[in-house]
Every structure is written in structure tokens, then in C-alpha cells.
Structure 1
Amino acid sequence: MKSITILVPVYNEESVLPQLFDRLDDVAKNTPNYKFEFLFINDGSVDESLYIIADQAQKDTRISYINLSRNFGKEIAMLAGIDHAEGDAAVIIDADLQDPPELIKEMIAYWEDGYDDVYARRSSRQGETWLKKKTSQWYYRILQKSTSIPIQVDTGDFRLLDQRCVEALRQFRESQRNTKAIFSWIGYRKKEIFYDRDPRLAGQTKWNYRKLINLAIDGVTSFTTAPLRMATIFGFIISFVAFCWIIYLLVRPLFGVSTGAGYSSLMAVILFLGGVQLLSLGIIGEYVGRIFIETKNQPLYLIEEYHAGNRKKTRR
């Protein structure tokens, strides 16, 4: 009997966990030919999430959980789950039930057909503002334009991964991660399925615009050097225009054209070039900062408590 590990990163989801347990149990009952494990990764929750998971684990031996020592962020929490996934396939799903667990059965069917990465693409996103939808769309378009690797557009982390995909993901140990881009990078046979994303069942979203902007910057700078290339091209264009302008200034007195005071135009050019230089330095600084962080070789996460459920072995 093949085994499926369902990875559920959790951060302050006490209000939705009881419904999640019920729906995951229904998925297992409706897919009787597979052995399921539900692996919860508690990412430093400050509510009762950990206690609810631990209590349910005492009643259901299929439940394992990892309690991280603090909040490391969803990307690192997913990596912790991937490091500990032991099934023949792993499914990543959020705890807020915006992604329907009932879709897992269809994912398994495509996996049995030979696909290694069965990912769910959102055809609609209920409960989200127009601005959030558009900025997400723009982000995926920018990321796609900046790399030659095909990026799955309008796709989250909800997917089924074959064991060899899981093994490939474990090799990526950078601390500032964009797992969505890494899913595309590793390749393998992929299958897209569509679904309507439900509004959050309970609780509040943990993603404000500041966190989303940071995630977008991490995604671009950790996956491509296109911003550095753009800064180089932009600098070349400005230098060329400035050179042409200098030639013009040198030549026009020969034709009797007065140069004039030019204070306003001079200040405008200086401020514009200064802004471009600061922008370019900021882009370079982002990459240098990442080099500094990665060379420290810090552990990506620390585990405070690990409950293995009915596992025979553990992975660290």
C-alpha cells in the first residue's frame, strides 16, 4: 500500500483546525487504498494551535507534528515538512481550508498516471480584494519575464509531489526561499488542475502587503539575476543619452545658440541620475546581503518538539 504524507504548515489557526481534521479524515476514508499521514508543522503559533494538534494526535495515530522553536515563516516551515516527509508522495496544503482537501483524490489519480508534480491552479479567488489579485498577477508575469524557466502562473503551494520531487527540494538549502519558483526549477512531469479557491473559513489571513512585498522581492532576487542585468542596461542607456547631451551642449555654441543659465535642468538631471545610482546600489545591496546571510551557514530552523505518530523512523 502506497503512503501519502500531507504537509500542513500552521500559524495561529486554532479556529479552523477542527474542521481541517474532519475533512482530512474524509479524504482518507474516500481513498482507502492508500496509507495517509498528516504532518503538521507548527510555525511558532501563539494561540492554541499546538495544543489542539497535540490533543488530536493522541486520538489519531496518523497525525505527526513538528513544533518549531519560533516563527520562521511559511517557506521554512514547508521545508521542515519536506525534510520529514516519508511518504511515496507528499501533498502541501494550507490549514485555512481555502484549498479544498477533497481535490487530493484527483491529484493522486494523476500521480498514478505518471505525473510527478500535480499542482492546483486557481481559476477564481473568492474573499480576496481586487488589488491583491492584480498584484499577484503582475508578480507572476514579472517573474516569468525575468527567467527562461516556465513559471506556473496563479498557482500557490497546494500540490502533490512525487518522492523524487521531494528529494530534489531537500537539496535547496538557501535561507531566503521562494518555493513556488523552486517547484518550477526542479522540472519533472507536471500536471495542472483547476479549482475555485474558497474564502478563508475562519480566522484572519497572515499575509499583509508588507509581507507580500518582501516575499515578492525574495522571489525575484533568490531566483534570478535579472534586476542586476536591468540596472546594467538602464545605466548604459542613461550614459548614452548623457553622452549625446554633452555633445549637443558642445556643438550648439558653434551655431550661435545660447547655452543659458540652465540651473533647473541641471538640477533635474543631477537628481535623476542620483536616484538611478541609489536604485542600482540598492539592487546590488540586496544580492550582497543575501550572499552575507548564506555564507553564515546558519541552520534553517530548529525543532522544539517532534511527535512521530505511528512512524517507524524519523528524519532530521
Structure 2
Amino acid sequence: MARNENPLISIVLPVYNEEAGIQHTIEILENYVASQPEEYEILFVDDGCVDRSAAMIQEAEQQYDNIRLVQFSRNFGHQIAITAGIRYASGDAVVVMDADLQDPPSVIPAMVKQWQDGYDVVYGKRLQRDGESWFKKFSASAFYRILHRLANIDIPLDTGDFRLMDRRVVNVLAKMDEPDPFVRGMVSWVGFKQTAVEYERDERTAGTTKYPLSKMLHLSMNGITSFSDVPLKLVNVIGAIVIAIGLVYGFISLFTGFATLQFAIVSMFELFGISLLMVGIVSAYLYRIFETSRERPLYVVAKTSGFKHPRQHQPQPIIKKVKSM
């Protein structure tokens, strides 16, 4: 597929309390885009920052005419901020990256080259993760491999949200109204022609991670429940195993008289725990259905700034018809 000879590339960066490093990020990105042949817009999404991040971005708008800012009314989450950025981006291609510059802009030219060669999605594949604890590296590696095995689509290993996407991919993503989006899985689900660019992830330049263990666990559960039905099938398997164990125990007790109060109590607690586990798995899927049924907007935008022209690529509102009884 032929690409535009003078394309506009949108760089989307979700921002949450990055005051310590946002000025450095802006300077690095502006120096980068000034040296490139393509035209660039840099679109920040303020995910409910409570520090001066948004104010510093607005100050930079006075100096650079390619900076855009979308401000949420509160914190809605990293994946939703990416979704909003994708919807507001005007580029022929859209690059998603974090504002802490752990995903280096120096990788973008290789992504653009692959895009110009005909690929619709070019994702960054991490070879190394500098500046992170052994636990973070281990848990991230385990998550990617578990998700890769469980998912019913091919989600590449060791890839985050750092990627370039063609406009036609972005248009499809913009129309997907998932209540708790898992963007990297959605990009894999969309399909089109995809390839990887390998890179070494840099150490965070300033500030602290915005993905503690609790958020990592939420992201993991969200990814699994969005793109795999294996846990639901596992409920059936566990149930069958428990029934089989109960039958075997009952058969042994009937013919040998083997039964003690302690064993009965332990068995009761084990069965109770397994039952709660299975209920929890089913509840996670039911909650996603509940979230979808409420039909709330994914986010609320308080204000925008830096946009010079009306946006051309906004998705049409999804109108859901209610069947008459």
C-alpha cells in the first residue's frame, strides 16, 4: 500500500503526574521531530494530573505549534488515555509511547520505515528493560507469556503499547467502545499487516513508575478476560476434578471406613476455597458485561488546547438500538 509522500505522524503520550520529567520529554521530542522529514504533531493526554504536568505542557504550546493537549476531568487510567489520544490524533500514522521516554524516540524512524514499506502496525519488541527491579522484569515476562498462551489471538511477546499504527488501523480502534480497553490486544485483534522493531528499553529519566503491582495485576486480569475464555473453561475442569475427588473419597470411605473429623474439615475448607475461586473467575467476566451494559462514555474531557484545525478522523457515535418488547 502506497503511503503519503509528506505524511503527518501523530505521537500520542498519556501523562499522569510527570512534572519531574515532562519538560525534558518535550525538549527531546521537539529536537527529534525537527530532524525528521515527516511532519509531526505531539499529542499529550492529561490523565487527571494533580501536579504541574498539564500547566508545563500548556506553556510549551506557546513555543511549539505542533503540541496538542487533551485534559481529562479526572484520572481514568493509562489505557483509556491512550484510547482518547488515538481518537484525537490527526496523523496518517499514530505512534503511541510513554511520557517517561523509556521508549526512546530514536526507534520511531525504523517504525516509519517499516510503515512506508507497507506495514500497517509496527510494534516495539523489548530486548532489555534497563532501570527496573528483578521482580518487575520477572512479573512482566511472566505476564506476557501467560497471556500469549491463553489468548485466542496472537499477542506478541515482550511488547507494550509502544507502536506505530496506520490511519486505517486507528480508525477501527477509534470505533471500538470497550469499557476497559486493553490496547495492545485490540491492535492484535484488528489484524492487518504487522511487524516488530527490536529495541532496548531505557531507564526512566525522572519521576517514578505509574504502574505499581496493583495496576499490573489489574492490567493482567483485563488482558486475560478480554481475549481469552480459558479461565472459564478451567472452571469446568476444576469442578470436574473436585467431583471426581469427592467420588473417590466417598468410595474409599464406604469400603474402608477411613474418615476423620480433621480430614473432613480440611476438605470442607479446600472445597470452599475452590468454589470462591471459580465464582471469582466467572464474576470477572460478568463484570465486563455489566460495564458494557451501562453504556457510559470511556472518559470525560474537561478541555483541549493546541488544536489549530477541526479534527478530521473522529469516530462516529455508536448508536445502539433497543429492541421493543
Same fold (TM over 0.5): yes
Task: State yes or no: 1:110 paired with 2:114.
Answer: yes
Aligned length: 309
**Equivalent of 1:277 in 248, 272, 275:** 275
What is the RMSD of the two structures over their aligned residues, measured on CA atoms? 1.5
Q: Deviations over 1:250-270 (max 9, x none)?
A: 3x2xxxx4x155111111211
Taking structure 1 as the reference length, the TM-score comes to 0.94
Question: Deviation at 1:310?
Answer: 3.0
Contact 1:178 1:223 in 2 (8 A): no
Aligned partner of residue 303 in structure 2, secondary structure = strand
Closer/same/farther in 2, CA of residues 247 and 55 from structure 1, 3 Å limit: same
1:149-298 → structure 2 map (5 Å cutoff): 149-250=153-254, 252=255, 257=256, 259-298=257-296
Q: Give the match for residue 10 of structure 1.
A: 15
- TM-score of the pair, normalised by structure 2: 0.91
Q: Does 1:83 align with 2:81?
A: no
- Maintained 8 Å contact 1:27/1:104: no
Give the letter for the 1:293 counterpart: E
Deviations 1:79-138 (Å, cap 9, x if unpaired)?
101111111100001100111111111110110000111111110101111111111111
Long gaps (5+) in structure 2: 1-5, 316-325
Which amino acid in structure 2 is aligned with residue 306 of structure 1? T
Q: Once the two structures are superposed, what CA deviation does each residue of 1:224-272 show, in whole Å capped at 9, x if it has no partner?
A: 222111111111122122222222333x2xxxx4x15511111121111
Q: CA deviation at 1:42?
A: 0.7
The answer to whether the Cα contact below 8 Å between 2:103 and 2:162 also exists between their aligned partners in 1 is yes
- Tell me the secondary structure at the aligned position of residue 8 of structure 1: strand
C-alpha offsets along residues 55-79 of structure 1, whole Å, 9 cap, x if unaligned?
1112211111101111101111011
SS of the residue 2:204 aligns to = coil
How far apart in 2 are the matches of 1:262 and 1:171?
60
- Unpaired runs of 5+ residues, structure 1, are none
Give identity over the alignment, percent. 37
